[in-house]
Structure 1
């Protein structure tokens, strides 16, 4: 932030602002805003609107709520105490809102100081509308930007409270509220916490809104504001006195567009909200200050896009300045009047004609910008593209290899609201008590309904719902069918998850768990005896019966995997004589194809997690193997993930349930592969 304020462009923009504050006295200030603020501080009251109207003031003077009044109050009081001109206090308040908005944009677009200063701090639209014409739209715009920042940071109560304050400052900000609601609902990670936003919003609305509604004078001034009726000026006459209002119609279409996008992330949310603001402003005649609302969104768009966007918005700004100055003169503090129309000798009908042409060009260019904002935001957005086709993860491995544990760990990263789990155990053909299990094991594909498994997986991948039965390992019986909906992520696990070609074709990422055999037997005995209630003799007997089927049907699936996890004891004979409560010291061997950013992963595992890593490639270069030893914690894994996979962090739950130890390492490495697979899919 310090670099931002020390940049020469910041000093230039600040000098321009201070010069305009000192040398310009806009007509709106002299006639309405300053007299109202002067009267409301001369005899302090919590209902300044009633005091103003009782003194014969104009109803149009200050049609805003408590948030706007409280914002200008401190500087006004200080100026009166110090004997300074009130226009300085007004300008200082706008300057504070201006700096706050710049700081918020810097938080939203870090590392782009020069761009922010060029396209926002030196924006002709902001300078003319706020400091040349004295319009106060910077205050609600800054509040709305703060609400968006806290929304992005998942501080939902604060975001809701500030959103209500923005509406209190200027009622027009209410157009953003439905987009906030749609975003919270269509983002599944935030949907679970959306009541926090509404709690903050309601609390702030009660504090700022109810007292204002109790002021009949304040409500009268608000409803008397001619700006409100401007949204109905652009209309299509349908005959018989019936009109079609274009601005409300366009707003409803934008709401529908936002609603129809199944998955919204912050980038899509701000782009669609920015489109709505820009189109509303462009279609509302004679409201030069309203364009300030769309400036933060245009800045974010320029940061996301390229030079063409910057050039188009620069041209758009020039057209705005020319069309505004041709019809609206500037007023100096000494009574001077500067009119571009008079300077160019284009007053009268010819001046209006030129201004109309400029306005037409500006609106046309603005519509092009709105279309580009939406098109680029959607076409480049990974979050939106994921909603078109789920990301499918296949997890195969022998019985007791940890498939369910790992599938649950992956689910905890993305959240149950974004993941549907399909287990191969639910597709056993017979209950445990059936005699067929005496001649056939679960590891034999013939003992499982792999066609049904494949059909259900393909249906989920196609976005359809399925009816699935759950196999209860405790009772050995299959339950009643339950409805399972598709989701953003599908985790399909099972003994034969990679067995059939049609299954393998469905997966975005194929994982095989190749646990050390002695370790697998150790974990399986613990699970089947202690958790599933099997006898020790039965479990030991199953090892003998299943070994040939494992060699024939299960282990060959590793050849088709993109990623192989092999959990092994540090020492081969470590399990001999292991005491019941003694901890196991394990290492993780990872096999994968080269090019999955193994070098970056190696650096992060060593530098952040403090692990020992041996990295080697096979003789033919077709496989990379990493051997990882050591202990790590969940916070270290979370930090490593943020460094290694920044593009996929917005897909995770809020917060994701990272684990420590070997399971956490498997989460991290799997997420790295998911990030790469998503990148390949979206190219």
Structure 2
């Protein structure tokens, strides 16, 4: 902040503001706001509007809520105490709100101080609306951006408080509420916090608005506010008594588009909210102060886009400034009214349409900006593209290879609300007690409804829900059918997850777990005896019975996998002596056919995680094998993921659950491949 304050651009902008505070006496302030604030502070009350109306005050003097009134009180009291003009108190309040908004934008767009100083601090929109016309829209704009900042920081209570404060300050800010609701509800990782936000907003709004809503005079001021009727001025008359109001129409369309995006991230949320503000302002014969609402969102877009966006916003701001000056009188501190249009001469005075032409140009540029925001900030957003089709991970492997454990670990990264899991076990044709299992094993495709498995995965890939049963390994029976919804990420795991071509074609990432055979038998014996209640003899017999089917149907699926993950003991003799005192030391073998950046992975695994990594590249370079040994922690793996997969981190849960050791490494390796597969899919 210190660097920004000492910047010459900031100092010049501040001097311009201070000069205008002393040189200009805006009509709105001298005729409306200052008299109301003066009167309301003489006799303090929670219903200052009633006292004002009772004293024959102008009913359009202060059509704002208790928050707006309360923000002005400190400087008003101070000015009255020292005998200073209330105009200065009012303007200094706006200056502090203006500066605060600059600081908040600096938090939302870090390391872009020069951009902020030129596009915000020097913005003609802010300078004209706040310091020449004396409009107070910078205050609700500040409160809205504060709510958005806390939303980005996942502080949902304060987000609700400041949104309620913005609505109290200016009722028009209620138009942002549906976008907050859609964002929290459609972002599945945040859905659990939806109620926290809504309760915080509702309670805060009740506290802020109760004095206002219980005041007949306050409501009268709102209803008599001429700006309220501007929303209905742009319309299409269908009959003498029925019209289509275009501003509400466009607003509802924007809400629909926001809702149709199955998952909003923060960038999508602020882009769509900014578009809604911009379109409402453009389609309404708005007060010049309304343009302040959309300015922070335009600056966020400029920071994301680049030079063309900066040029367009600059032209938009300049045409706003000129068209408003031509159409609006300015009152100087001396009391003289200055009307710029009077100083201009045209050949045809009756045909002087310069202000309207400038305004037309501004609206045209504004619509171009709205189109560009939709095209660049929305349609090219990864979340928007993911929302059209889920990302499917297929995980195959033999019984006891760790498919469920691995699936749970991947699911823990993206969060339960974002992941749908379907298991091949749920498509066994018979319960465990059926005699068919005496002549056929679970590994035989004929013993499973692979057609149903495929059809269900196709439906989920199409965004549709399915009815599925669940196989209970304890009872050996299927549950009743239950509804399973599609999601952002779908994990399809099972013995035959990569067996059929249609299953493989549905998958964006195909994984095969090729655990060391002796280790697999060891783990399966531990699981089936201790967790599923089978006898040792039954498990050992199943090994011999299933081996031919495993070799024939399961292991060949490895050739279709993009990523083969294998757990192996560091030394085979460890399995013979394994017990609680002598745990098995394992290494991880990775075979990939995706041609990922092995050098970056090797550098991070060695440098960050402190592991030993061997790399073997096939002769044609199409296949890479890594052998990884050593111990690492979840925090090291999380740091490695931030380095290797910055793009995909936005899809993770608020608090992804990273694992220690080899399971965490499996999470990391899989995430690098998801990152690569997403990038490839978005390019295509």
TM-score category by the smaller chain? over 0.9
Q: Confirm or deny: 8 A CA contact 1:396 1:495 kept in the other structure.
A: yes
Q: What corresponds to 1:501 in structure 2?
A: 501
Deviations 1:476-524 (A, max 9, x none): 2333333322222111111121222222221100111122223212211
Partners of 1:618 and 1:3 in 2: how far apart?
Answer: 53
Partners of 2:614 and 2:79 in 1: how far apart?
Answer: 68
- Quote the offset at 1:167 in angstroms: 0.3
Is the deviation greater in 74-83 or in 111-120?
74-83
Q: What corresponds to 1:135 in structure 2?
A: 135
Partners of 1:425 and 1:536 in 2: how far apart?
Answer: 22
Q: What corresponds to 2:58 in structure 1?
A: 58
TM-score for the superposition, normalised by structure 1:
0.94
Partners of 2:642 and 2:186 in 1: how far apart?
Answer: 24
Q: Confirm or deny: 8 A CA contact 1:594 1:621 kept in the other structure.
A: no
Q: What corresponds to 2:592 in structure 1?
A: 592
Q: Confirm or deny: 8 A CA contact 1:465 1:485 kept in the other structure.
A: yes
Q: What corresponds to 1:18 in structure 2?
A: 18
Q: Secondary structure at the match of 1:253?
A: helix
- Quote the offset at 1:446 in angstroms: 3.1
Q: What corresponds to 1:604 in structure 2?
A: 604
Q: What corresponds to 2:249 in structure 1?
A: 249
Partners of 2:441 and 2:84 in 1: how far apart?
Answer: 90
Q: Within 5 Å, which residues of 2 pair with 1:323-342?
A: 323-342=323-342
Deviations 1:436-470 (A, max 9, x none): 33333222333333233222222221223333222
Partners of 1:152 and 1:287 in 2: how far apart?
Answer: 30
Is the deviation greater in 615-624 or in 487-496?
615-624
Partners of 2:368 and 2:17 in 1: how far apart?
Answer: 30
Cα 1:420–1:241 change in 2 (3 A) is: closer
Q: Confirm or deny: 8 A CA contact 1:167 1:173 kept in the other structure.
A: yes
Cα 1:613–1:24 change in 2 (3 A) is: farther
Partners of 2:10 and 2:560 in 1: how far apart?
Answer: 57
Deviations 1:237-261 (A, max 9, x none): 3343443322222222222222233
Cα 1:319–1:403 change in 2 (3 A) is: same
Q: Secondary structure at the match of 1:207?
A: helix
Q: Secondary structure at the match of 2:422?
A: strand
Partners of 2:179 and 2:662 in 1: how far apart?
Answer: 41
Q: What corresponds to 1:524 in structure 2?
A: 524
Q: Within 5 Å, which residues of 2 pair with 1:288-367?
A: 288-345=288-345, 350=350, 353-367=353-367
Cα 1:243–1:347 change in 2 (3 A) is: farther
Is the deviation greater in 534-543 or in 375-384?
375-384
- Quote the offset at 1:82 in angstroms: 4.0
Partners of 1:100 and 1:437 in 2: how far apart?
Answer: 72
Partners of 1:239 and 1:546 in 2: how far apart?
Answer: 77
- Quote the offset at 1:581 in angstroms: 5.6
Q: What corresponds to 1:391 in structure 2?
A: 391
Q: Across the two proteins, how many residue pairs are aligned to each other?
A: 683
Q: Within 5 Å, which residues of 2 pair with 1:18-417?
A: 18-345=18-345, 350=350, 353-417=353-417
Partners of 1:348 and 1:297 in 2: how far apart?
Answer: 40
Q: Confirm or deny: 8 A CA contact 2:167 2:173 kept in the other structure.
A: yes
- Quote the offset at 1:298 in angstroms: 1.1
- Quote the offset at 1:292 in angstroms: 0.6
Q: Secondary structure at the match of 1:61?
A: coil
Partners of 2:347 and 2:284 in 1: how far apart?
Answer: 24
Q: Confirm or deny: 8 A CA contact 2:418 2:489 kept in the other structure.
A: yes
Q: What corresponds to 2:626 in structure 1?
A: 626
Partners of 1:611 and 1:118 in 2: how far apart?
Answer: 48
Deviations 1:171-194 (A, max 9, x none): 110111122122222222222221
Q: Secondary structure at the match of 1:534?
A: coil
- Quote the offset at 1:166 in angstroms: 0.2
Is the deviation greater in 34-43 or in 490-499?
34-43
Cα 1:186–1:232 change in 2 (3 A) is: same
Partners of 1:191 and 1:348 in 2: how far apart?
Answer: 61
Partners of 1:55 and 1:434 in 2: how far apart?
Answer: 89
Deviations 1:69-95 (A, max 9, x none): 111122222333344433332222212
Partners of 2:669 and 2:309 in 1: how far apart?
Answer: 37
Partners of 1:346 and 1:203 in 2: how far apart?
Answer: 57
Q: Confirm or deny: 8 A CA contact 1:327 1:352 kept in the other structure.
A: no
Q: What corresponds to 1:449 in structure 2?
A: 449
Is the deviation greater in 486-495 or in 657-666?
657-666
Cα 1:602–1:77 change in 2 (3 A) is: farther
Partners of 1:348 and 1:92 in 2: how far apart?
Answer: 42
Q: Confirm or deny: 8 A CA contact 1:50 1:217 kept in the other structure.
A: yes
RMSD: 2.3
Is the deviation greater in 42-51 or in 59-68?
42-51
Partners of 2:294 and 2:270 in 1: how far apart?
Answer: 11
Is the deviation greater in 527-536 or in 344-353?
344-353
Q: Confirm or deny: 8 A CA contact 2:595 2:623 kept in the other structure.
A: no
Q: Confirm or deny: 8 A CA contact 1:387 1:488 kept in the other structure.
A: yes
Partners of 1:439 and 1:267 in 2: how far apart?
Answer: 57
- Quote the offset at 1:539 in angstroms: 0.9
Deviations 1:100-134 (A, max 9, x none): 22222222223322222222221111111111111
Is the deviation greater in 593-602 or in 160-169?
593-602
Q: Secondary structure at the match of 2:613?
A: strand
Q: Confirm or deny: 8 A CA contact 2:60 2:224 kept in the other structure.
A: yes
- Quote the offset at 1:582 in angstroms: 4.7
Matched, 1:655 2:655: yes
Deviations 1:370-413 (A, max 9, x none): 22222333320111111211111010111111001111112222
Q: Within 5 Å, which residues of 2 pair with 1:429-468?
A: 429-468=429-468
Q: Secondary structure at the match of 2:498?
A: coil
Q: What corresponds to 1:560 in structure 2?
A: 560
Partners of 1:63 and 1:114 in 2: how far apart?
Answer: 36
Partners of 2:90 and 2:615 in 1: how far apart?
Answer: 64
Partners of 1:296 and 1:73 in 2: how far apart?
Answer: 26
Is the deviation greater in 34-43 or in 23-32?
34-43
- Quote the offset at 1:289 in angstroms: 0.6
Partners of 2:469 and 2:230 in 1: how far apart?
Answer: 59
Q: Secondary structure at the match of 1:192?
A: helix
- Quote the offset at 1:351 in angstroms: 7.4
Deviations 1:328-361 (A, max 9, x none): 1322222344432122236995475221222222
Q: Secondary structure at the match of 2:394?
A: strand
Partners of 2:496 and 2:247 in 1: how far apart?
Answer: 57
Q: Confirm or deny: 8 A CA contact 1:510 1:561 kept in the other structure.
A: yes
Partners of 1:661 and 1:347 in 2: how far apart?
Answer: 82
Partners of 1:32 and 1:607 in 2: how far apart?
Answer: 66
Q: Confirm or deny: 8 A CA contact 2:562 2:594 kept in the other structure.
A: no
Cα 1:601–1:74 change in 2 (3 A) is: farther
Q: Secondary structure at the match of 1:622?
A: coil
Matched, 1:426 2:421: no
Q: Where do 5+ consecutive residues of structure 1 fail to align?
A: none
Cα 1:242–1:670 change in 2 (3 A) is: same
Cα 1:351–1:57 change in 2 (3 A) is: farther
